[in-house]
Structure 1
Amino acid sequence: MLRKITSLAVAMLAIVATTFAQQKAATPATTPAPTAPSVSIYGFVRNDAYYDSRQNVFVREGQLDLYPRDKDIQSDGSDYNKKSQLNILGILARFGVRVSGPDAFKAKTSAVLEGDFFGQADVNIGLLRLRHGYVKLDWQKSALTLGQTWYPMFIPECFPGVVGFNTGIPIAPFGWAGQVKYTAKIDAKNSLSLTAYKPREFAVANVNPTDVTNAASLNAALPELNLHYQYKSDNFLIGAQVDYSKITPYTKYGATGALLTNEASVNSVTAMAYAKITGKKIAVKAQALLGQNTTSWVMLGGYLGYKPTATSKETYKPIKTNAAWIDIYGTGKKVVPGLFVGYTSIEGAKSGATAAYGRAVGVSGRGIKDLMRISPRIDFISGKLSFRNELEFTTAKYGTRANDGKVTGATDNITNVRFTFSTVFNF
């Protein structure tokens, strides 16, 4: 009897085990296996040789040129700044890492970490500098970007394709900032983004060793806000932005023991529009900007200070800056010509200013009224290697500034001609 019961129990267990195995095989997995992150490395090795016909305002030993210097007449009548210069640098070599997956919060995730050897300032040229460091969560109808990446005013799909590292500045906006960016995907072609970010470059009225470079931005406990609409199809791109900025220079007044602080702010609004059209043989990019206090985008401008008396607290007004550019280039794969034309002007602010803060601005002496640049180029491409050549003609009109920050009266055209030969190996 015991033997029969045992045999029956074994048979029942075998039936149960077989049924369970069959059900398990028929039931699909409800939890997918985690996806391993995908990592890719990219970048390029670049070497630039460039020649200037006169002295320039620049950074990193001339690698990034802005505009030609004004006349500096010596006792013998010669212009000291009418001297040529030449340099060869490889500090633009760049590398980055892209990481994708696994999913988080029901979104596809990715991250980018990128740097180059441009340095953070002229004193540490050749050292590693962070360009991008951000994480992105991408849902079906929206996306969220967190970290340091391009200013909203810099459009990766629509920026000047010039050879020079100036990338069109000081006419076109450029740079990176820490930010939080939310993008709503209206449909397959239309999107709307809202970005809150903190600029890295600002002219600070408070000259104090304990202040950091971007103290004017930090002292305003409000991020810069940018609203961006974009339409994008295969051959056409158009967009528009409105940007609001508030900074607090936080200037100190008085003698030691009797210091007064000033929390007056600079409120600025900038509007920008851009477009790109791609044809079979030719493509065109263009941008127009009406700006206020555009210093942080490495453009001309800033803000003016008003202090009627020695004991008055300084107030501020943003300087208006206008800019526009167009870039026409070929779409070939081996020989690619291009032409960049850009213009920018300083439109000043309210009269009666006693101080100016920013780039190429002032309330007295000589200064820039406007600036124009024409840059023809041609690229020769073979596989991953490119030989890039460019002639850059930059003309600045210099004249006497009034106390509204504008140049009035007669002006002198000061021109620099730069030739750049760049070797780029992509990987």
Structure 2
Amino acid sequence: MKKLILLLAGICMFFPATAQKKDFTYKFYGFVRGDLFYNSRANMAPIDGNFYLFPLDKKPDPDGKDLNASPNGSFYTFTSRLGLDMTGPNVGTARTSAKIEVDFGGFSSSNTMLRVRQAYVALDWDRSQVLIGHTWHPLFGSVFPDMLNLSTGAPFQPFNRSPQLRYQYKAGKVKLTASAIWQLQYLSSGPNGMSEEYIKNSCVPEFYIGADYTSGNGWLAGAGIHLISLKPRTSSVWNEKTYKVNERMTALSYEAHVKYTGRNYTFAAKSLMASSLDHTALIGGYGISAINPDNGEQEYTPYRHSTSWVNFTYGTKWKGHFFAGYTKNLGTSDALVSPVKYGMGLDLDQLLSTNIAFSYNLPHWQIGLEYMPSTAWYGETDMASGKVVDTHSVTNHRILGLVMYYF
């Protein structure tokens, strides 16, 4: 928190001398956030347990006792956030703006590093916008759950911020979106772990095309298509020799979403047919479908997952939240020829999570309590289909207490 205080002090000292520039405006925002949580067992939960995803499988010791069946919990404030929205002079008929947003979520296992959450510039016309920079992945979209947990619905709701070029066009009640996306903090999996090199070597960014319809009486609905194309390797070590190889894994994903906003309640839902979207905090990845016996060059097949969630909230000052998410492993389109696979949660057949929360909301304050049971069905991979069979279940019970002060 000392770094955040020093950063605020430095900005406050700097901007009085510069904020008087003609045609520029500056608006600071952010919050201080504290998360107190308890889990009944070990989980897949990055950012020191703050970003909760799903319970880990049983891990028996020599006596058959489950090493992962141990409770854990902690209290953190490093997800506190600071942002700055700016507007500037027009460029022709285009209105200009920019955003910079940071927190201490860090990279990898470091939670003391100031990191960029968003940093972009935008040009706005009456019907269209061009955005250049680092912001929310289009699969996160305009429909996402209203809940207390930092993961915001992951691993059922895509969660990712990435560098991108985005164009949006509004025609009446319809908004069209086209994006080209690269990777930086949220990375795909591959032979060298999670890395940016697979999309960098691909020379092909992710692409997203989608449309949203807003009715004007509370309804919003839309759908989109996403493409990712990775190069897992550029060389292969085969029979003690190194060969240059030309490998590529390409996958398409589809999503649809809907939201209704009433006077003091909301309903939202999203469903995806997801392929290799592990870099968006969804369960997914890919496996090996063929190996060239001459040089070890591999072909790949993406895992397909059906993922859906629903969210309902009621109230304003006193607010109730309900969330339910479900993921099913549908296997691979081609048979697997190797047990090696790349991704997250690929030994999961199904995952079901529910979430019940209550929050007390005042101007600049939110205090809440959340209970989230999650059950994961683990098993063995059927090489012919990529599906998970002979399953057993494990359940985690998570309790979260939250305090936030907005400014």
TM-score, L = length of structure 2? 0.90
Question: Does the 8 Å CA contact 2:246/2:297 hold for their aligned counterparts?
Answer: no
Q: Distance in 2 between matches of 1:173 and 1:304?
A: 21
Q: Distance in 2 between matches of 1:351 and 1:257?
A: 27
Corresponding position of 1:96: 83
Corresponding position of 1:424: 404
Question: Does the 8 Å CA contact 1:204/1:215 hold for their aligned counterparts?
Answer: no
Any stretches of 5+ residues in structure 1 without a counterpart?
Answer: 1-33, 362-366
Secondary structure at 2:279 match in 1: helix
Shift of 1:106: 1.6
Corresponding position of 1:227: 209
Q: Distance in 2 between matches of 1:47 and 1:40?
A: 24
Q: Distance in 2 between matches of 1:169 and 1:104?
A: 39
Corresponding position of 2:7: none
Corresponding position of 2:68: 81
Q: Does 1:168 align with 2:148?
A: no
Corresponding position of 1:378: 358
Q: Does 1:153 align with 2:139?
A: yes
Change over 3 Å in CA distance of 1:218–1:334 after alignment to 2? same
Residues 43-62 of structure 1: per-residue CA shift (max 9 Å, x gap): 00000000001111121221
Residues 230-282 of structure 1: per-residue CA shift (max 9 Å, x gap): 11235111111011111111252227994112222111111100010012232
Q: Distance in 1 between matches of 2:64 and 2:127?
A: 66
Q: Distance in 2 between matches of 1:238 and 1:424?
A: 30
Corresponding position of 1:335: 318
Shift of 1:352: 2.8
Q: Does 1:283 align with 2:269?
A: no
Question: Does the 8 Å CA contact 2:289/2:335 hold for their aligned counterparts?
Answer: no
Q: Paired residues, what number? A: 380
Question: Does the 8 Å CA contact 1:160/1:285 hold for their aligned counterparts?
Answer: yes
Correspondent of 2:175 among 143, 168, 191: 191
Secondary structure at 1:64 match in 2: coil
Q: Does 1:263 align with 2:246?
A: yes
Q: Which amino acid is 1:168 matched to?
A: G
TM-score, L = length of structure 1? 0.85
Shift of 1:72: 1.4
Q: Does 1:52 align with 2:39?
A: yes
Question: Does the 8 Å CA contact 2:292/2:298 hold for their aligned counterparts?
Answer: no
Shift of 1:307: 4.2
Aligned-residue sequence identity (percent) comes to 27
Q: Between Structure 1 and Structure 2, whose CA radius of gyration is higher? A: 1
Residues 351-405 of structure 1: per-residue CA shift (max 9 Å, x gap): 13312111122xxxxx210101000001111221110110011110011112243
Secondary structure at 1:319 match in 2: strand
Shift of 1:104: 1.1
Q: Distance in 2 between matches of 1:328 and 1:115?
A: 29
Correspondent of 2:164 among 164, 167, 179: 179
Q: Distance in 2 between matches of 1:36 and 1:308?
A: 60
Secondary structure at 1:203 match in 2: strand
Question: Does the 8 Å CA contact 1:294/1:321 hold for their aligned counterparts?
Answer: no
Corresponding position of 2:5: none
Shift of 1:75: 2.7
Secondary structure at 1:101 match in 2: strand
Shift of 1:35: 4.9
Q: Distance in 2 between matches of 1:83 and 1:174?
A: 28
Shift of 1:309: 6.2
Q: Distance in 1 between matches of 2:43 and 2:89?
A: 49
Corresponding position of 1:253: 236
Question: Does the 8 Å CA contact 1:341/1:374 hold for their aligned counterparts?
Answer: yes
Secondary structure at 1:216 match in 2: helix
Q: Does 1:115 align with 2:102?
A: yes
Correspondent of 1:131 among 117, 123, 138: 117
Corresponding position of 1:295: 278
Q: Distance in 2 between matches of 1:118 and 1:321?
A: 28
Q: Distance in 2 between matches of 1:126 and 1:391?
A: 28
Q: Which amino acid is 2:66 matched to?
A: D
Correspondent of 1:305 among 288, 303, 311: 288
Corresponding position of 1:18: none
Q: Does 1:316 align with 2:316?
A: no
User: Following superposition, which runs of at least 4 residues in structure 1 exceed 6 angstroms of deviation?
Assistant: none
Shift of 1:306: 3.1
Secondary structure at 2:45 match in 1: strand
Question: Does the 8 Å CA contact 2:322/2:355 hold for their aligned counterparts?
Answer: yes
Q: Which amino acid is 2:325 matched to?
A: G
Q: Which amino acid is 1:185 matched to?
A: K
Shift of 1:143: 0.9
Residues 272-295 of structure 1: per-residue CA shift (max 9 Å, x gap): 000100122321000000111111
Change over 3 Å in CA distance of 1:262–1:279 after alignment to 2? same
